[in-house]
Amino acid sequence: MAKRKNKPKSANQLANNPKARHDYNISDTFEAGIALTGTEIKSVRAGKINLKDGFARVRGGEVWLENVHISPYKEGNQFNHDPLRNRKLLLHKREIAKLAGIAQDKGITIVPLKVYLKHGFAKVLIGIGQGKKNYDKRETLKRKEQDREMARAMKQRY
Protein backbone atom coordinates (compact mmCIF):
# COMPACT_ATOMS: atom_id res chain seq x y z
CA MET A 1 0.00 0.00 0.00
CA ALA A 2 1.39 3.38 -0.99
CA LYS A 3 2.03 5.99 1.65
CA ARG A 4 -0.28 8.95 1.73
CA LYS A 5 1.44 12.22 0.86
CA ASN A 6 1.00 15.05 3.31
CA LYS A 7 -0.83 17.94 1.72
CA PRO A 8 0.28 21.45 2.57
CA LYS A 9 -1.93 23.21 5.12
CA SER A 10 -3.21 25.70 2.53
CA ALA A 11 -4.35 22.98 0.10
CA ASN A 12 -7.76 22.74 1.76
CA GLN A 13 -8.20 26.51 2.07
CA LEU A 14 -11.00 27.67 -0.19
CA ALA A 15 -11.30 31.39 0.61
CA ASN A 16 -9.32 33.95 2.55
CA ASN A 17 -10.16 37.41 3.90
CA PRO A 18 -6.90 39.39 4.12
CA LYS A 19 -8.83 42.66 4.44
CA ALA A 20 -10.11 41.52 7.85
CA ARG A 21 -6.62 41.51 9.39
CA HIS A 22 -5.94 44.88 7.77
CA ASP A 23 -9.12 46.52 9.13
CA TYR A 24 -9.36 44.79 12.53
CA ASN A 25 -7.14 43.76 15.42
CA ILE A 26 -8.06 40.08 15.76
CA SER A 27 -7.91 39.04 19.39
CA ASP A 28 -9.42 35.53 19.39
CA THR A 29 -10.45 32.97 16.77
CA PHE A 30 -13.03 30.18 16.66
CA GLU A 31 -13.53 27.34 14.21
CA ALA A 32 -17.17 26.86 13.21
CA GLY A 33 -19.05 24.63 10.83
CA ILE A 34 -21.43 26.13 8.28
CA ALA A 35 -24.95 24.86 7.61
CA LEU A 36 -25.09 24.72 3.79
CA THR A 37 -27.52 23.36 1.22
CA GLY A 38 -26.52 20.83 -1.45
CA THR A 39 -25.69 23.30 -4.21
CA GLU A 40 -23.94 25.65 -1.78
CA ILE A 41 -21.39 23.06 -0.67
CA LYS A 42 -20.66 22.25 -4.32
CA SER A 43 -19.99 25.93 -5.02
CA VAL A 44 -17.84 26.25 -1.89
CA ARG A 45 -15.75 23.22 -2.89
CA ALA A 46 -15.26 24.88 -6.28
CA GLY A 47 -13.95 27.97 -4.46
CA LYS A 48 -16.84 30.25 -5.48
CA ILE A 49 -17.10 32.03 -2.12
CA ASN A 50 -16.35 35.65 -1.21
CA LEU A 51 -15.78 36.68 2.44
CA LYS A 52 -14.92 40.32 1.73
CA ASP A 53 -17.90 42.09 3.35
CA GLY A 54 -18.97 39.23 5.61
CA PHE A 55 -19.61 39.34 9.33
CA ALA A 56 -21.27 37.19 11.97
CA ARG A 57 -24.07 38.15 14.35
CA VAL A 58 -25.46 36.42 17.44
CA ARG A 59 -29.27 36.25 17.37
CA GLY A 60 -31.55 34.10 19.50
CA GLY A 61 -28.79 31.91 20.87
CA GLU A 62 -27.45 31.16 17.39
CA VAL A 63 -24.62 32.63 15.34
CA TRP A 64 -25.43 33.67 11.76
CA LEU A 65 -22.96 34.41 8.98
CA GLU A 66 -24.20 37.38 6.97
CA ASN A 67 -23.17 39.12 3.75
CA VAL A 68 -21.01 36.23 2.53
CA HIS A 69 -21.49 35.61 -1.19
CA ILE A 70 -21.55 32.00 -2.43
CA SER A 71 -22.09 31.95 -6.19
CA PRO A 72 -24.93 29.79 -7.55
CA TYR A 73 -23.80 26.34 -8.64
CA LYS A 74 -23.20 26.28 -12.39
CA GLU A 75 -24.94 22.94 -12.97
CA GLY A 76 -27.74 23.74 -10.51
CA ASN A 77 -31.34 24.06 -11.61
CA GLN A 78 -34.38 25.83 -10.13
CA PHE A 79 -33.38 24.54 -6.67
CA ASN A 80 -30.25 26.71 -6.62
CA HIS A 81 -29.64 28.84 -3.53
CA ASP A 82 -29.77 32.60 -2.91
CA PRO A 83 -26.13 33.84 -3.06
CA LEU A 84 -26.37 36.24 -0.11
CA ARG A 85 -28.62 34.32 2.26
CA ASN A 86 -27.73 34.19 5.97
CA ARG A 87 -26.08 30.93 6.99
CA LYS A 88 -26.08 29.38 10.44
CA LEU A 89 -22.72 28.73 12.07
CA LEU A 90 -22.38 25.55 14.11
CA LEU A 91 -20.70 26.18 17.47
CA HIS A 92 -20.92 24.79 20.99
CA LYS A 93 -23.25 26.57 23.42
CA ARG A 94 -20.41 27.83 25.59
CA GLU A 95 -18.67 29.28 22.51
CA ILE A 96 -21.89 31.00 21.46
CA ALA A 97 -22.32 32.42 24.97
CA LYS A 98 -18.74 33.69 24.93
CA LEU A 99 -19.23 35.30 21.50
CA ALA A 100 -22.53 36.87 22.60
CA GLY A 101 -20.89 38.41 25.66
CA ILE A 102 -17.94 39.79 23.73
CA ALA A 103 -19.96 41.04 20.73
CA GLN A 104 -22.12 43.27 22.95
CA ASP A 105 -19.17 45.60 23.51
CA LYS A 106 -19.03 48.66 21.30
CA GLY A 107 -16.62 48.44 18.37
CA ILE A 108 -16.34 44.64 18.45
CA THR A 109 -17.15 42.69 15.28
CA ILE A 110 -17.12 38.99 14.47
CA VAL A 111 -15.49 38.59 11.06
CA PRO A 112 -14.83 35.50 8.93
CA LEU A 113 -11.11 35.05 8.28
CA LYS A 114 -11.00 31.99 6.02
CA VAL A 115 -13.03 29.03 4.78
CA TYR A 116 -11.48 25.60 4.41
CA LEU A 117 -12.36 21.90 4.24
CA LYS A 118 -11.66 19.66 7.21
CA HIS A 119 -12.50 15.95 6.93
CA GLY A 120 -14.88 16.76 4.06
CA PHE A 121 -16.82 19.44 5.95
CA ALA A 122 -16.70 23.17 5.24
CA LYS A 123 -15.37 25.13 8.21
CA VAL A 124 -15.02 28.86 8.73
CA LEU A 125 -12.45 30.51 10.97
CA ILE A 126 -14.09 33.50 12.63
CA GLY A 127 -12.24 36.14 14.59
CA ILE A 128 -13.22 38.68 17.19
CA GLY A 129 -12.03 41.98 15.80
CA GLN A 130 -11.82 45.51 17.04
CA GLY A 131 -11.68 48.13 14.30
CA LYS A 132 -8.38 49.86 13.60
CA LYS A 133 -8.02 53.59 13.10
CA ASN A 134 -6.42 54.87 9.89
CA TYR A 135 -3.15 55.70 11.63
CA ASP A 136 -3.00 52.13 13.00
CA LYS A 137 -3.40 50.76 9.48
CA ARG A 138 -0.58 52.98 8.19
CA GLU A 139 1.65 51.94 11.08
CA THR A 140 1.00 48.26 10.33
CA LEU A 141 1.88 48.77 6.66
CA LYS A 142 5.12 50.58 7.63
CA ARG A 143 6.08 47.74 10.00
CA LYS A 144 5.45 45.13 7.29
CA GLU A 145 7.57 47.13 4.83
CA GLN A 146 10.43 47.39 7.36
CA ASP A 147 10.28 43.66 8.08
CA ARG A 148 10.45 42.91 4.35
CA GLU A 149 13.46 45.20 3.91
CA MET A 150 15.24 43.60 6.87
CA ALA A 151 14.59 40.11 5.52
CA ARG A 152 15.85 41.18 2.10
CA ALA A 153 19.02 42.67 3.62
CA MET A 154 19.68 39.56 5.71
CA LYS A 155 19.17 37.35 2.66
CA GLN A 156 21.74 39.32 0.67
CA ARG A 157 24.19 39.26 3.54
CA TYR A 158 24.09 35.48 4.09
The answer to whether 112 and 120 have CB atoms below 8 angstroms apart is no
Write the CB contacts of 24 (distance below 8 Å, at least 6 apart in sequence). 109, 111, 127, 129, 130, 131, 132
**pLDDT tens for residues 91-143?**
999 999 998 888 888 888 889 999 998 888 889 999 998 887 777 778 888 88
Q: Which domains are delineated in the chain?
A: 19-131 (2.40.280.10)
**pLDDT tens for residues 11-30?**
678 888 888 887 888 888 89
